Amino acid sequence: MRHLSTILVTLYAGLIYLFIFLPVVVLVLFSFQDGSLPVPPLNGLTLRWYEAIFADGKLMAALGNSLLVALISSAVACVLGFLAAYAFARYTLPASGLLRGLIVAPMTVSTLIIGLGLLSILNITGMRLSLVTVGIGHVVINLPLCFAIIYASMGGHQVNIERAARDLGAKDWQVMLLVTAPMLLPSILAAFFLSVTFSWDEFIVAFLLSRFDVTLPVEIWSMLRSGLDPKTNAIGSVVFLISVAFLVVMEFTVFRKTGKSS
């Protein structure tokens, strides 16, 4: 009886993981397809689709754009999120509960609506669509996340440490830069890397707010319109690999930091 339940639980867990990872495995597997259709049967293994994507200037430019937008917009979101969290945690603000709610509210709004709203604002202001506008969109999406993560890690025990810094002559900006931010580094890094992976994958806002220079998801989408091709599998695998790399870096840095500090 006990034996049977162990088998069932193992089977169940196996199915869950299969369900989650099968699409990725298929995607990666058929990126090596020796043939022009990324569907079974697997004819043989080849790296030529990878050669093709790395030789594709448009695709590589989009990849560069994506990295640039992800890194810069995440950095901006983290700085803004940190400043907002600092204000809410250290000062008594009027209606602070309401204001805090409003900052995180965009997390619950669909990116489609945020994208459309930004698009109409940009139209009104006459600002041209570019990677900058995509970056702005990503800041809007990621700021609530960065704020929430950083705010959650700001506790009362750091107040006395900041007080000590002030007592020793530090000005407000020195307290923030030399004491508060380094103390919160694990959560700031977590916010940054999470935000990078979101921005890296983000399609809707990037699609709505870009024109000539596009990010990788938008470029992949336009490739898909011309039909299935193992090349899309190959670039998809690269996207997946880079996402995983960011997550690993985050796990490593954040885990290492929090593991060390007492």
Partner 1 sequence: MTADVSIRNATKVFGSFRALDDVSLDIAAGEFIVLLGPSGCGKTTLLSILGGFIEPTSGTISIGGEDMTHVSPAKRPTTTMFQDYALFPHMCLRDNVGFGLRMRGMGKAERFEKAFSYLDLVGLRASSAKKPHELSGGQRQRVALARALAVDPHVLLLDEPLGALDLKLRRQMQDELKAIQKRVGTTFVHVTHDQEEAMAIADRIVVMNKGRIEDVGTPASIYMRPRSLFSAGFMGEANFLPATVRGTSGSEAQVETTLGRVALPASAFVSGSPAVGKDVTLCIRPEHFRNANADVPTVSLGRGRITGSAFFGTHHRCHVAAGDTVLTAHLPQTDNPEAGAELDLRLKADSIVVLQDGAGV
Among the listed residues 26, 52, 72, 185, the single contact to partner 1 using CB under 8 A? 185
How many degrees, rounded to 5, is the angle at CA 205 between CA 201 and CA 207? 85
59-88 binders of partner 1 (CB under 8 A): none
User: Considering only CA atoms, which of 141, 160, 121, 133 is closest in space to residue 81?
Assistant: 141
Least distance from partner 1 to the Cβ atom of residue 176, Å: 13
Q: Binding string, 87-126, against partner 1, x = CB under 8 A?
A: ----------------------------------------
Kindly tell me which residue out of 63, 134, 183, 242 binds partner 1, with binding defined by CB under 8 A: 183
Q: Is 262 in the site for partner 1 (CB under 8 A)?
A: yes
Residue that has been written with the tokens 């995509």 in this structure: 134
Q: Identify which of residues 85 and 114 has a Cβ nearer to partner 1 in the complex.
A: 85
Q: How far is the CB of 171 from partner 1 (least distance, A)?
A: 8
Shortest distance, position 255 Cβ to partner 1, whole Å: 16
- Which one, 52 or 185, has the nearer CB to partner 1? 185
Structure tokens at 110: 């669909």
What span, in angstroms and rounded, lies between the C-alpha atoms of 67 and 73?
A: 10
Nearer to partner 1, 78 or 143 (CB): 78
Alpha carbons 79 and 98: distance in angstroms, whole number: 21
Q: Distance (Å, rounded) from C-alpha 29 to C-alpha 38?
A: 9
- Greatest alpha-carbon pair distance for the chain in Å reads 72
Cβ nearer to partner 1, comparing 167 with 212 = 167
Near partner 1 in 131-170, by CB under 8 A: 157, 160-161, 163-170
Neighbouring CB atoms inside 10 A of 6's CB total 10
Which amino acid is present at 169? Answer: G
